[in-house]
Structure 1
């Protein structure tokens, strides 16, 4: 499946480039495609090298947490939920605590921590994989939950809005939270349907009900805060929690007579090996996405979408923000650039500008995450992972558009 999609990027890009040359007379399109190939190849290495330090640090921290026994306690606490969602994962397995730490980092908007922890979780799940090059059901569900994870603190989006002069930078906070929640729920439901996971279980419903109750309580609290206070509180909570977690691991491990320094070093060594190992997978995905974008194929898709919506007599305002939505599953930096361009073109507080910000926070970089996480463990057959991930993205995009008309129109 994945190899067909990868090939499809190149074929569609080439056809779009031919159309640009033969119909529009744009002979420079091929030069842009070649330049994009070189740029993306360099970017893949830069991203992987940039991950080395983060990977080494967080895997070192997790190693200390495992030595302290706290990670094992967390795994036992959440085992009842994960053993029902992922029957092939034994109760108390290290993958459970790794997945929990990763999803928690995503929820708090800690991207720098989430990626290393997510790769650690994928490696733990790989120890249970009877076919090392084929994704298991547990790995697929984890990937889908990761790419659609609810983000409570979209601090980066709020900061961009503030820098561009938004009257209320945090006005998009609740719409983003609603849209990303829909994405996560859709991802869980679709994957559960494909894998025939029984969600009508007392334990599963109890955990999900508790999570949504906490989410609603946080929405209620955040809605009472002004823009500046919301940003201050979200930044404070995120950073305080991450520092507190590190200190807790260190102190408890030390009290248990663990040599925290040596333990950290041993865990950190794995980070370098992992970051280097994902370069080929990251390179393959980024060059395909870069060529697809440089060929003008994305612009042609938007043109067809606008024509179709207009032919149906529907409002086309939301189409102006779709470059962000279409780019987000492909590239996080590309989607961010699209969001900024939309806010700059139509105004940061325009309907299109606010919708672009909501779309940026509602979905995740599915192709990038799939390439990094599966590449880290050598998985080549993704099975239904991409389809379920894109279904979650689609749900988040639709929810973002609906919520935008509800809040901003």
Structure 2
């Protein structure tokens, strides 16, 4: 539970690189409880889908990219990303619950869901009631306080329990290096597949096809420019970041498509990357319905990001 909590906390702060080693540790510990070592257990699938849905409270990295690209107000995508990622996570959890026949209609679950909805509603209301300049200041301040608090909490807990924090850190770093070496084959195979998908023109063909079909229906096709980021996001976080930056360079960070590409990028995380790395690190070959549920969360996040971007920026 500690590893899962730390992984989710890093994701909520938009710290993708920091979340990965924590997620790998959590998956390794879940594997120790798994009776069928080659098959994903129910808790593993739920944990993976929550990761792929990418619940972000403060999208630090995306706001930094927007600031570097010269956006007039880098934080103007904050509320749209918050709403989109919340919808993606909620749909993902519901999809897994249906697949695993988990009864969500009970008092504890409804109470927890209500508290989370109230929290996000309050957060949205708070940031809508201040100016965009203040929004940027508050979001950065909150992120810095949370990050610093986590570090201090680690040190204080170590002192309280008389643990040598430095030695524990070094041991953890050694274990992290071993894990990194173990997942290299899965990572290389995955990156090759992404490269083939992009360089073969399959992505361009798919995006143009979607735009053509949508145009025939008489619907506005402005969102098509953000689709490369949306499609790549399910495959690779760094690839999606690259496409998001390219979109902002080409069309401007304050353009409709430039903003939408940022919202789409923050709406959910990299389903196939997380699945390949997390399951590959513990030797899971039978993923059951993890891919299906993860893609449902991804798809809902993309749709939500597009609709919310039209609502805020069009």
TM normalised by structure 2 equals 0.94
Number of matched residues? 314
Contact 2:55 2:268 in 1 (8 A): no
> Counterpart of 1:384?
289
Alignment of 1:205-220 (within 5 A): 205-220=110-125
Distance across 2 between alignment mates of 1:337 and 1:261: 35
In the alignment, is residue 199 of structure 1 matched against residue 98 of structure 2? no
> Counterpart of 2:157?
252
Work out which of the two has the higher radius of gyration on C-alpha atoms and give 1 or 2: 1
Tell me the secondary structure at the aligned position of residue 71 of structure 2: coil
Alignment of 1:150-229 (within 5 A): 150-229=55-134
2:37 to 113, 132, 141: 132
In the alignment, is residue 398 of structure 1 matched against residue 303 of structure 2? yes
Distance across 1 between alignment mates of 2:157 and 2:207: 54
Unaligned runs of at least 5 residues, structure 1? 1-95
Alpha-carbon distance, 1:171 to partner: 1.7
1:233-257 Cα distance to aligned partner (Å, 9 max, x none): 3333223323322322322332333
Contact 1:149 1:184 in 2 (8 A): yes
Alpha-carbon distance, 1:374 to partner: 0.9
1:54-78 Cα distance to aligned partner (Å, 9 max, x none): xxxxxxxxxxxxxxxxxxxxxxxxx
Distance change >3 Å, CA 273–CA 342, structure 1 → 2: same
1:259-309 Cα distance to aligned partner (Å, 9 max, x none): 434433333331121111110111111111111111111111112111111
1:69-94 Cα distance to aligned partner (Å, 9 max, x none): xxxxxxxxxxxxxxxxxxxxxxxxxx
1:306 to 190, 207, 211: 211
> Counterpart of 1:234?
139
> Counterpart of 1:363?
268
Unaligned runs of at least 5 residues, structure 2? none
1:103-139 Cα distance to aligned partner (Å, 9 max, x none): 1211122223211111111111101111111111110
Tell me the secondary structure at the aligned position of residue 219 of structure 2: coil
Alpha-carbon distance, 1:190 to partner: 0.8
Contact 1:306 1:319 in 2 (8 A): yes
Tell me the secondary structure at the aligned position of residue 309 of structure 1: helix
Give me the CA root mean square deviation. Answer: 1.7
Distance change >3 Å, CA 242–CA 350, structure 1 → 2: closer
> Counterpart of 1:351?
256
Contact 2:15 2:61 in 1 (8 A): no
